[in-house]
Structure 1
Amino acid sequence: MFNRYIDVLTNLPSYSKNVFRKDYFSWLINQCRGFGRFSYGLLIFNFILQVFSLLQSFNTAPVQSIISFMGANLSVACVIGISNRSGIQGWAGAVSAVCIASVGFMAGNFASAWEQIGYLIFLDFFCILDPKWNDNIQAEKFESWLDWIAYIVFFGAAWAVLHAIFSLTSDPRVFLDSLNLAMAITGSLLELNRKREQFYVWTISSVLTIALWIQTMTQGDGNFALIFSYSVFFLNNLYAFFSVHGWFRTDSQA
């Protein structure tokens, strides 16, 4: 289950050579090429929405608006990079995680902030060091309904623990915030185990995150930036659902 992590950590000097090389930046630029038209369309669509959000909120909260703008655009670039098996996902994910975590702490959404820190440590860092992190992924289906029960029980236990922990903080939206983090942890576990059913969890997670940041904005602690970016994630999930290249392709196509 943790073989890829162990491999990178025990061979860190070797993997670091993937970053500290002369052609690294030109390689990163090339990783932004060759995406599908839908992917480029989502990037442009999100950027336009983010410009609107920046202009709408800049006068009242300039620092938070700029950080949100950067994080929202880079988070979409990360997701598009993952969809296209591009090495850009590591850096885009890392910088966006720092930005979104910062906005989360500013808004009091502490669980969501720690969610981003988790992505930074356990996903983005390893994607940067190992550009082939997502190569040769063979997604598997649940073997029986018992798998569903196991992950649902895990989600319920995680939510209960997280809700209790963040209830001790000043988090003003602890119900949705802890719920979203529990869903993200469950999705990450499914992703780590390469289960196709993770699609359902990430789709629900997108909806919950949109709801969280709508509530945050209506209470005066946020803006449209992350609402827009997670709406784009939701569109990307729907595209994956209907595309033969997504998690729901047949076993003969996997």
Structure 2
Amino acid sequence: MLSNLPEYSKNVFRRNYFSWLIQQCRGWGKFSYGLLLFNLILQIISLVQSVSVAPVQSIISFIGGNLSVACVIGISNRSGIQGWAGALSAICIASVGFAAGNYATACEQIGYLLFLDLFCILDPKWNDDIQAEKFNSAIEWLYYLLFFAGAWLVIYYLFSLTNDPRVFLDSLNLAMAITGSLLELNRKREQYFIWTISSLFTIALWTQTMLQGDGNFALIFSYSVFFLNDMYAFFSTRGWFRTASK
């Protein structure tokens, strides 16, 4: 990072930077804009339902839920807005996670902020020339499954030492996030299976959180939209998963 700091500085501290960011939100597909609008409507419903009970947490969840979806859709469209949207949503979701006792999920968001979102801001075109690769053999699945199992075992033990009320699902989500990030680092197309399954378990985590009185619908809605976006990536001819297979 330090060796590339002059170049990174030019990427951010330049003329018309904010107008360039706005431009990054244009030219997306109709499905992407539809998901943004659909999520916004759901987030407003969640905010109205919960703001009288927990106003601060509800507003933070509302902001985080909208920005996180903007980040994921930005990634799907290879848009430079993903860095800022991801960083700000990570701060919001981490705050809600710590307040709810979902400490592993909160740490997951801090990890995204430091090791992914920050570099997306400093180098917004990092993914322009990336070529996804497929697993060469089934043995690679075994390696990553063993890595996931080991990571989950360690994470579960560490967070069981805290007062995390949902340590099973919470640690599971962090282990899946680390495994998915490793697949992403190695440019493996199969990462999409991990992110899709992770969305389902995260929905389960925040549903349990809400039922136990520590959350609301906001993050349930946003991760449900993530899942829809994943389905688009799998089955649409313009989706990332299909594009990477060609």
**Match for residue 61 of structure 2?**
68
Match of 2:87 among 94, 98, 102: 94
Question: Deviation per CA, 1:86-124, whole angstroms, max 9, x where unpaired?
Answer: 000000000000000000000000000000000000000
Moved more, 200-209 or 11-20: 11-20
Q: Letter of the aligned partner of 2:91 in structure 1? A: V
Q: State how 1:1-254 maps to structure 2 within 5 Å.
A: 8-249=1-242, 254=246
Counterpart of 1:199 in structure 2: which amino acid? Y
C-alpha contact (below 8 Å) 2:235/2:242 kept by paired residues: no
Give the superposition deviation at 1:9. Answer: 3.5
Deviations 1:138-168 (A, max 9, x none): 1111011110000000000000000000001
Query: Match of 1:227, SS?
Result: helix
Count of aligned pairs: 246
8 Å CA contact retained: 2:76, 2:240? no
Alpha-carbon distance in structure 1 between the residues aligned to 2:215 and 2:241: 35
| Conserved? CA contact 1:190–1:197, under 8 Å | yes
- Give the superposed CA RMSD: 1.1
Q: Is the 8 A contact 1:53 1:223 kept in 2?
A: yes
- Code of the aligned partner of 2:234: F
- The CA deviation at 1:133 is 1.1
One-letter code aligned to 1:246: G
The share of aligned pairs that are identical, in percent, is 77
Give a deviation string over 1:41-81, Cα, whole Å, max 9, x none: 00000000000000000000000000000000000000010
Residue 246 of structure 1 and its aligned partner are, at CA, apart by: 2.9
Deviation at 1:21, TM superposition (A): 1.2
Match of 2:94, as an amino acid?
A
Q: Gaps (5+ residues) in structure 1? A: 1-7
Shift of 1:247: 4.3
Q: Is the 8 A contact 2:233 2:242 kept in 1?
A: no
Q: What amino acid maps onto 1:57 in structure 2?
A: S
SS of the residue 2:2 aligns to: helix
**What CA distance in whole angstroms lies between the structure 2 residues aligned with 1:139 and 1:250?**
9
